Amino acid sequence: MTGARVEFFFDLSSPWTRIAFANLWPLLERTGEAAVLRPILVGGVFNAVNPAVYAAREDAGSRRLQHSWKVLADWAALAGVRMNFPSVYHPAKSVNAMRMACALEADQPSLRRFVEAVFERYFGDQENLDDPDILIAAANAAGLDGPCIAQASVTDANKLKLRANTDELIARGGYGSPTIFVDGTDMYFGNDQLPLVEFALKGKGR
């Protein structure tokens, strides 16, 4: 995990994170850079520094929110990913999923495969993100050992690690998912700021 200029802090429950995740890899290929995936619990971030998210969700009939679903679908089509959202499970609890992701953080290729598989289950198939059986099945389908990952995810050490990742993001100024850092301190948020991430990786025009 060393040597990567990009850190990608994420929670699997976020539709914009799903799109940003798909767009991240072509960006890295274009720039010749690498990224480290950092699982967090976005609910912990919202509770600590961004509670306005909950108020916005309560106004389900707002024009802005309704239009955001259309924009989300457009971005998903542009990224070439399935986005059947929102589903009956929105807003989703993600603690089980993020603990399993955290258990894989030291094995970045496996973590990437797990994330892609779970994104397909939640945003493509509209399955329950918080169901351990679905998460295990997603891991198995990605060629991983789902039961072993699930077992590792509930250890005290792994729970503390996920909390530490979340606290670290808050301490570094983050307020949601996905949050992207370039070279440690240059922070960006969301799929729509990925062009700025690429700009930063290329030296911001210098």
Chunked into runs of 10 residues, the chain (206 residues) has average pLDDT values of 86 97 98 98 90 64 86 96 90 94 98 98 95 98 98 98 98 97 98 97 81
C-alpha 65/C-alpha 17 separation (Å) is: 17
Q: What is the pLDDT of residue 1?
A: 45
Buried-exposed string 82-117: b where 16+ CB fall within 10 A, e elsewhere: ebebeeebeebebbbbbbbbbbbbeeeebbbbbbbb
Reported pTM? 0.93
Q: Where are the domains of the chain?
A: 6-201
Q: What is the pLDDT of residue 59?
A: 67
Q: What is the pLDDT of residue 151?
A: 98
Q: What is the pLDDT of residue 2?
A: 56
Q: In the CATH hierarchy, which fold is given to the domain comprising 6-201?
A: Glutaredoxin (3.40.30)
